[in-house]
Each structure stands twice: as C-alpha cells, then as structure tokens.
Amino acid sequence: MNKQTIRPLLNGRYQIIQSLGAGVFGQTYIAEDTKDVDYPEKPRYVVKQLKINNFQSNAYFDYLRLRFLTETETLKHLGQHDQIPELISCFEENEQFYLVQEYISGKPLSSELKTNQQQGYKWNTSEAMKFLEDALGILEFVHSQGFIHCDVKPENLIRRSYDGKLALIDFGSIQPVDFSTDAELPISQIPVTSLGYIPPEQFLGQTQPNSDIYALGMIALQGLTGLTPLQLKIDPGNHEIPWTYENTQIDEYLAVFISQMIRYNYQERFQSASEALWVFKHITWKHQAVGLLTSNIPISARKTPKDQNKKLDPLLAGMRWGIAINSVVVGLGVYSLVTNSQSYSETEKLSQAITEYQAGNLEQAINLAKSVPSYSNVYPEAQETIAEWQKQWHAETKNYLVAEQALKEGNLSDAVSAVEKLPFTSYWRAKREKLIEKTIEKTQAQLAAETETLLNQAYESAANQDFATALKHLRQIPPETSAGAIIQQKLAEYNQKMQIRSNYLLNKAYQKASVNDFGSAIKFLEKIPASSEIYPQVKVKLQEYKEKQQIRNSLKNKLKAMVKVNKSMIVGQIESNMKFSYSPDSFDGEVNIST
C-alpha cells in the first residue's frame, strides 16, 4: 500500500500541499500556514524556493544571500500595491532561500485567452480598454518605484475571483529602471510562454520601462484578434506587426493606441506607463463622448469604419504617425493646468518638494515645503512632512554609513542588514546599488582566491587517487568563474578516473571474498565513493559481505567457546584421577605423585 509522503514543515509552520511547477529561478508551491490561529481555516500562501547549487563556495553563497535579501526588500515594497502579491515572509533553511507570498485566488489570463480562442470569441473595445486600464495602472506603480517587470505575459496576470481585477505576479526577472548590460539574452534561457511578449531590445540586454508596455500591447492584441503573438505576421521591411482592425469590434482610437504600444523601435513607443495612461484616459473620454453622440443618431446616418478612417482626430493622427503625440500631451496638459484651482498649485508645490527629497535634495525640498502659505489646506501636511524628512534623513544617512563601514571591514552580514533599511527613493536606491556593486567586486576577488584554493585541493586529492573528494572541491567552484573551462575539463577527467578506480576496488573485494576474507573485502568496498556509477551494486555487496562476516565471526566465537569448555573438562578429569601416596615413617619432605 502506497503512503503519501508527508513533507516536513518549512520554517516550522508552512506545509506544502501542491506543486505549481518549476521555472528558471526555482520551484513554486502552494502551502498552508499551520500556525496562524487568527483564521478558522489554514490560510494558503505561495512559497517559492529559489534554485541554489549545493556545491557553491561560502563567498558565492554570501553573495546570493545578499541578492536574495535585497530582492525581498523590493518585493516587500512592491507588495504594498493592491494588485501585486504581498510578501508575507522570507527565510533561509538548510542553505535554501524561500519566499512566502500572498496567494491570489483566480485564473491566469492565459487560461481565459485560450478558452476564447477555442470558442472563437474576441474582445470588444470595452473589454480591451478595461484590460489596458487595469494593467497599465499596475505597471505605472511598478515603474514609479524604479523597476521593470521584464516578464509581463498572460501567465503572470491573474484575474482575481472576488472582483475580476488583474493581479501581476512573478517578479523573478525584475530589474532596476537604470539596469543596463551588454550581454544578450539567450533565447534558450527564456521560458517558451514568454516568447512573443518580449520586445526586441530586451533580447539585446537593453531593457526599457516601455518593454513592459510592448508586452501589454501584445496581450491586448491577442485578446482582440484571437491570435497568439507568434501567430501574427511581421513585416520583414520594417519589422512592424501590420495587424488590421476592420473585422474586430474595436474603434480606431484604441487600435492606433495599441499600435503605438507595440512599435518595433522602443523610442517610438510610449516612453512610460504614466504617459500611456494619460493618453489612454483621453481616448476613454473621447470614446464615451462619441458613444453618447452616436446613440442619438439614426443608424442610417452613422459613419461606417471605412468613412471614419478618411479623416482622423488630431490626437489619433499624431499617435499614428508618431509625430504629434508630445505636442498633444503638452497642449492638453496646459488646458488642465488652466482649469485647476489655487489649492492644486499648492499641492503641486508639495509634490515637487517630495520629488526633490526623493532625488536627495533635502534642503531644496524643505524650502519648497516651507513656501506653502500658512492659510493653505495643505500647510499642516507640509509642516509634518518637513519634520518627518529631517528625522528620516538622519536615520537613512546613519544606516548608509554603517553599511559602508561594514563593507570596508568585510562584514557582509552587517552591511546587508544596514542596506535593507535604506528606502527606495531614487537617491538612496542609487547608493544601495553602488554598495551592492562594491560587495560584488569584493566577492569576486574572494571567489578568485577561493577558486585557486579549491583547485589546489582538488589536484592534491586527485594525486592521492581520492577522486570523489577532488570532484567535491571542483563542484564548489561557481561555473561562471574564470576557471570555468578548466573545471569542466577536470570534472570529466576525475569522474572517469573515479569510475575506473571504483571498478578496480570492486574486483579486489571480489577476490578477497572468494577466499572468505570478508573483512578485507568490506574495506575495499568502503573505499568506493557513493557518487560512483557502480555504488548501487557496491551497497548490495557490502550488506552481503557484512552478513557473511557476522556469521563467520559468530561461528568463530562458538568454536572458541567449545574449545574452552572442552579444555576445562579435560583438566577436571585429570585432577580427579590424580593419586597421592606417602609413608609417614619415611617422609622426607617429598611427595610422590602417580597417575
């Protein structure tokens, strides 16, 4: 009868109940919290186990720990948004890193789109606009915090069961906005489900905030056309996607908006989620206004889509040709400022002060906040903000100096602890990243020294024909070090030599066992490492020879006991048969013993 394997509790409280699958960055599970007494039923969470190589060196493991703690702080910060899973906990156990996040009850958008495709259903204008408004709102928050998601796709958008809103999940690929690298993104490392949603610049290591916007545009296009991104045709001349919307339930304003989102050249797209949302809201207003007007016009008098294409609204034309968008934004922005009240300008002043503070200009921020007049409604808030800034700045500066000093002294744990306390404003984020860069540099130097030590230890072990230990040393060296090529070569060489020596030792054990010398046979078998290919056979022989050795020792002990008993019996018999004779009259002090 098969019994279900019961996994041990993670962190002493989380019981895994279901596996959600493995990805590039690790394994994901659904788990129940067995110690949360605030709920009548055990609450469920998503637990992510990050992929860690068990043979990494201590320096590299410390580096991974630093990255893990830094990234968990990012997730904790982003989880404040209602439509991003909250980070419940993070912990390290048995040299593995775990994240515990809020469980979003609902279905992934990929499931919804697949069902629509099977049933031949396509989104209409309202559904597409609802999707874009919801998703762009989440992206605007992520980008405003200085991060790019980098893997926006239907699988990572969950439609919540209780309100139908979208939630953005899986921040395993997140990067800072100013992240840059010359390394290209190998297609072999990209999940199949991400292909088609990743824009061209991301493959070249030039990820932009509007790379996420491209992905959203492709999802909207998929909902409207019923085609996956890989099914859409690409113009070989300009690499654009020449999709048509005449046969879809969508108005031309939204069609041009989506076309702007998915331009091949990222410089021709919307440059931020905020800009895209701003234009989107004006399209929404225009769409609603057109709907009200056309509802009172007889059907026979309404224009067909073909007629509407002849003359476009200036906003639409500007978006289509990629020329007038900035002037339109500025024009509408001026109109908005003219219609605002005086209190708005004071609120705007405080907002500018906050921007200066986040940029690290404390004195200028305080001066701006102080310029808010005392009769203003926002004056009390401005005064409280000034006091809070001064307090925060002192604490943040202290934490930064502690982190910097700890880093100089090589105390990685204290440095990480202090870095964690730094806020995510643009000013402090830049300083955080510099500290991390310095840590990486020191770690790399330490890794180089450890790599040399481990290589020497591997060579020494191999010289003593202890290839298993040599392999263990080599596997502790991270593969991305400069000695990577040598390591791979030596791993193959030592593994082959270990198999040859293991077979030699096994044959020696057979020879000893054939003459009933099981003790020597066992000694040979015990020299064979568990990592050898023949070890399953070795385990069987070890058990067999140990049993035979025990039987042999038992028989030997019994024979010894029998000999001892027989010897005692013979001695007793001899003593009982002894005869003593003497004559008192002639006794001269001697005893004659006759048997």
Alpha-carbon distance 401 to 334, whole Å?
Answer: 44
Residue 595 has pLDDT above 50, yes or no: no
Query: Is 48 one of the annotated binding-site residues?
Result: yes
Alpha-carbon distance 502 to 496, whole Å?
Answer: 10
In the numeric block, which tokens belong to residue 32?
Answer: 């129940």
DSSP state letter for 86: -
Residue with the larger pLDDT of the pair 306 and 546: 546
CATH of 14-102, one of 3.30.200.20, 3.60.130.10, 3.60.10.10, 3.40.640.10: 3.30.200.20
pLDDT confidence of residue 515: 92
Average pLDDT over residues 159-176: 88
Q: Report which of 390, 414, 394, 389 is spatially closest to residue 403, judged by C-alpha positions.
A: 414
Domains 14-102 and 106-321 share a fold: no
Q: How far apart are the first and last CA of the chain?
A: 74
Residue 145 has pLDDT above 60, yes or no: yes
Note the pTM of the prediction, 2 decimals: 0.54
Alpha-carbon distance 425 to 77, whole Å?
Answer: 11
CA 328 to chain centre: 41
User: Helix 273-294 and helix 252-261: axis angle, to 10°?
Assistant: 170
> Which of the four pLDDT bands, split at 50, 70 and 90, describes residue 294?
very low
Average pLDDT over residues 19-31: 77
Residue 41 has pLDDT above 80, yes or no: no
DSSP state letter for 146: T
pLDDT confidence of residue 558: 82
pLDDT confidence of residue 308: 41
CA-CA-CA-CA dihedral for 154, 190, 169, 7, to nearest 10: 120
pLDDT confidence of residue 142: 92
> Which of the four pLDDT bands, split at 50, 70 and 90, describes residue 24?
low
- pLDDT, mean over the chain: 78
pLDDT confidence of residue 140: 93
The rounded percent of the chain whose pLDDT value lies above 90 is 26
**Placement of tokens 């069987």 in the chain:** 540
- For the chain, give every domain's residue range: 14-102, 106-321, 340-420, 424-565
Taking a C-beta distance cutoff of 8 angstroms, is the pair 460, 472 a contact?
no
Tell whether the torsion through CA atoms of 257, 259, 262 and 264 is positive or negative.
negative
Residue 258 has pLDDT above 90, yes or no: yes
Residue 584 has pLDDT above 80, yes or no: no
pLDDT confidence of residue 135: 96
Residue 254 has pLDDT above 70, yes or no: yes
∠ CA(570), CA(571), CA(575), 5° rounding?
120
Residue 303 has pLDDT above 70, yes or no: no
Residue 32 has pLDDT above 60, yes or no: yes
The rounded percent of the chain whose pLDDT value lies above 70 is 75
Q: Annotated catalytic sites, by residue?
A: 151
User: Which residue stretches of 409-534 are H helix?
Assistant: 412-420, 426-463, 467-475, 484-514, 518-526
Least confident of 97-106, 223-232, 287-296, 400-409: 287-296
Cβ atoms within 10 Å, residue 439: 23
Taking a C-beta distance cutoff of 8 angstroms, is the pair 31, 75 a contact?
no
Predicted confidence (pLDDT) per residue in 188-224, tens digit: 445 666 788 999 888 888 889 999 999 999 999 999 9
- Helix, strand, coil in percent for the chain, rounding step 5: 60, 10, 30
In the numeric block, which tokens belong to residue 407?
Answer: 């880093």
Residue 133 has pLDDT above 50, yes or no: yes
DSSP state letter for 24: S
Q: What are phi and psi of 483, to 5 degrees?
A: -90, 15
Least confident of 105-114, 187-196, 320-329, 363-372: 320-329
Which residues are 167's β-sheet partners? 158
Alpha-carbon distance 101 to 75, whole Å?
Answer: 9
The CATH classification number of 106-321 equals 1.10.510.10
∠ CA(59), CA(60), CA(62), 5° rounding?
65
Alpha-carbon distance 395 to 393, whole Å?
Answer: 5
